[in-house]
Amino acid sequence: MSTERDGKDADLTPRFDLHMTACLKEADPVKCIAVGVSGGSDSMALVLLLTGWCRSRNIRLVALTVDHGLRGEAATEALQVAEWLGAHGVEHHILVWKGPHPSTGIQKEARAARYHLMLSKCQEIGAGVLALGHQLEDHLETLLMRLSKGSGLDGLPGMAPVSTRQGIRLVRPLLDFRRQALRDYLIAAGQDWIEDPSNESEHYTRTHLGKVLTQVAALPGADLDSMALAARRLQRANLAVEQAVDTAFADYVTKGRFGSLDLSAAFLGALPDEVAIRLLTRVFAAVRGRDARPRLTAVERLYERFRTAQGPVAGTLSGCRFHPRSRGWRVCREAGRSGLPVVPLTGRAHYLWDDRFLVRDHAPDDIAPDGLPLEIRRIGHEGRLFLKNQDMGGPEMEAPAMIIENLPAIWCGDRLVCAPLISGVSYLPSVGQGRFEMLFNQ
């Protein structure tokens, strides 16, 4: 990313167009983009810049504001955002976080709730992209925070301009823009914004990080541009390591049909420690879902245990089980692990279950046979016994119970309808054979 100074030029449109286009250069054609808008200067600038960008490309733009209910003014502020965006002709939805609201770790829980509400809305409206208003100071504050907490190289580059979460592409096209430049843009456009008093509260880590960033940028020979340069160089180094991990994954990991992976023990003596540790993290994410991330210290301990053992030994990492085999490990979900989702069928053709399995519905309009709703959930112990009693047999049912029980199936109440990964048979007459298809999506 370029870090040229913004100066007094309030017309950010040309630079924004370049950054937004770069964020989507490897994406499929986009028909709908959602944008998170809190009403602060960063998100207000983003939604105005996106308005012109989307209109020139005939892309639907949908703004999402989360009313977190943590301050009395939150609901009024959400309505103010709706009024502002209505004047600009931008479609807008207010999403309400109904809690429960925690007494500690409020910012962390509120952030998780915001993402959950916005990503769920993206899936509902068919928006494959969610744009977020993080800018240069946010980017550098994240770098400082992760450095202070002992982050590995993969965390130090700060915020990624493009990432994926719950199947939605998250883009941050403002990471090269200073906050003041965005405010100058809004002033020139005659657009007001909302000041959040929590940004100045001494109770929150971000407030302290902003002050530290100011102090570091004031050191001799330092400024925001030089710090952004360091972040770009870290990104470059991190990309090189990630490419090495891609190669290692192809060389030492074999994917199974049922959400498990086989990991060769040969990686232990063949890879540098950093690449090997990230390979373990990648294996974990493939089995547990991309959004699940174990602590780096836990992965390092597991790696050290594997490295110093005489041959493969068993290991568990945050609900992911490493079963020793003659030349490595079979890695799968831990038996009886909670947290596997229940996903109602809502008339869509595609679902991503547990961030790992793609579920296709070839008759999405027929979602309520016999007037009863269908849903996707794990086969579980009862489902496995049912399939076994149906005399399924074959190589599929010979897989370990913990693997079978953590696979997705279609259920109607307490009745298993079908388990396409195990059998093509439908056990509910009103659900046609072959209607559902499932695929391990790693």
Measured in residues, the chain has a length of: 442
Nearest to 376 by CA among 341, 406, 405: 341
d(CA 3, CA 14): 14
> Which secondary structure element, helix H or strand E, spans residue 283, and what is its range?
helix 273-288
Is 41 known as a binding-site position? yes
Q: Count CA atoms within 13 Å of residue 433 on its CB side.
A: 3
Distance from chain centroid for Cα 272: 28
Encoded amino acid at 237, one letter: A
- Tell me if 184 is assigned to a ligand binding site: no
Taking a C-beta distance cutoff of 8 angstroms, is the pair 205, 145 a contact? yes
Distances (CA, A) of 433 to 215, 355, 361, 363, 429: 66, 25, 11, 11, 9
Distances 60 to 54, 122, 162, 326 between C-alpha atoms, Å: 7, 12, 20, 54
Half-sphere exposure of 42 (CA within 13 A, CB side): 21
- Please name every residue paired with 253 in a beta bridge, in sequence order, or none if there are none: 263
Phi, psi of 33 (to 5 degrees): -120, 130
Distance CA 134, CA 46 (A): 9
Measure the CA–CA gap between 75 and 54, rounded to whole angstroms: 28
Q: Is 42 annotated as a binding residue?
A: yes
CB 193 within 8 A of CB 184: no
Q: Spell out the residues 6+ positions from residue 435 whose beta carbon is closer than 8 angstroms to its own.
A: 361, 362, 363, 366, 418, 426
The owner of tokens 């028909």 is 31
3-state secondary structure of 84: helix
Q: Is 39 marked as a binding-site residue?
A: yes
3-state secondary structure of 79: helix
Within a 10 A sphere around the Cβ of 156, how many other Cβ atoms?
Answer: 18
With left for phi above 0 and alpha for psi between -120 and 50, is residue 169 left, alpha or beta?
Answer: beta
Alpha helices in 378-439 (DSSP H): 380-389, 394-397, 401-405
* Binding site, annotated residues for ATP: 38-43
* Binding site, annotated residues: 38-43
